[in-house]
Amino acid sequence: MRDAARKIVPISDPLGQGLLQRIGNTPLLRFQRVTQNPKGVEVLAKAEWLNPGGSVKDRAAASIVADAMRQGKLGPGKTLLDSTSGNTGIAYAMLGAAEGFPVALCMPANVSAERSRIVRCYGAEIVFTDPAEGSDGAIRKARELAAAEPQKYFYADQYSNPANWRAHYHGTAQEIWRQTDGSITHFVAMLGTSGTFVGTSRRLKELNRNIRCISLQPDSPFHGIEGAKHMPTSIVPQIYDPATADENVFISTEESYAMMRRLAREEGVLAGISAAAAMVGSLRVAEAAKSDSVIVTIFPDAADRYLSERFWEEL
């Protein structure tokens, strides 16, 4: 039988050669109704659920993985280990499958069914931790496993790893600058590990020192804004730098739920909880901002990761 020469089929406009090239370069959304104001202040949001793993965390995870591989910390015989309440775990699991390394994740047992199923689909291992201990319990478990078997694991440690914020310094900030043609006046983002806020703000201020960077936090340690962190009562992530924020605004869970509903019903945008919280914060910043300000925020993920949760029943 004649061997056919292997042909590469040309594809017009390919989206990169591999998974890592498909991360980032997310659209910047403009809204019709929710953001309308008489001052002409623009509020725009990065649609981060359009990353291949479905959230902004693809950026940090890819940066952490690439950095670890470069330094020889992740390679044959090593398993990537970290604690996560969901999105970062999904990103790691996806990268592990695409790049060929095993992944072990410590997650609180009350993560939504969507999250644990997605992670398992990619083939990652989950160690469930006590839900009453929240993310703190998952962090402690990951540290324990890493200390017990240092040869087996590369402990990615998203809360301390500078590759996390660097993803946004090199990626997110540059995209925002380009997409607004340098006209951005305010950057607003929710704090979780703080990588998005710190990395993006750092670079934006280098590009234009007059850009105001406003961080957002939940208004209580007991809250429902998934992925977000109330810094005053938390073990502060090592990568957090409060000096990058010109201002901080506290957002309530209930306001975020109400905004999720508005974004879905008035804009056709099924944004996630922290995205809705980011819009609440951005509108608050818009109230005080000068005319013709350009406010950019981050929508970390979409509502599909939260559909099984109780608040949807009344949304």
Partner 1 sequence: MKVLIPAALRQYTGKQSAIDLPPGTVEDVLRQLTSQFPELRKQLFGDDGTLRKFVNLYLNDEDIRYLQNQNTAVTADDTLSIIPSVAGGCVQPD
Q: Verify whether residue 274 is a known catalytic residue.
A: yes
Cα 141 to Cα 128: distance, rounded to the nearest angstrom:
9
DSSP 3: P
Does the footprint of partner 1 cover residue 192 (CB under 8 A)? yes
Does the footprint of partner 1 cover residue 250 (CB under 8 A)? no
> Under rule CB under 8 A, which residues in 95-154 are in contact with partner 1?
108, 110-112, 131-137, 139
Give me the least distance between CB of 164 and partner 1, in Å please: 13
Nearer to partner 1, 123 or 221 (CB): 221
Nearer to partner 1, 135 or 282 (CB): 135
Q: Please choose, out of 46-54, 69-77, 142-150, 214-222, the segment that lies near partner 1 by the rule CB under 8 A.
A: 214-222
Question: Residue from 257, 285, 293, 301 that binds partner 1 (CB under 8 A)?
Answer: 257
Q: Please choose, out of 33-41, 69-77, 146-154, 217-225, the segment that lies near partner 1 by the rule CB under 8 A.
A: 217-225
Does the footprint of partner 1 cover residue 12 (CB under 8 A)? no
Catalytic residues: 57, 274
Residues forming the site for partner 1 (CB under 8 A): 85-86, 108, 110-112, 131-137, 139, 192-193, 218, 220-231, 233-235, 237, 253-254, 257, 309-311, 314
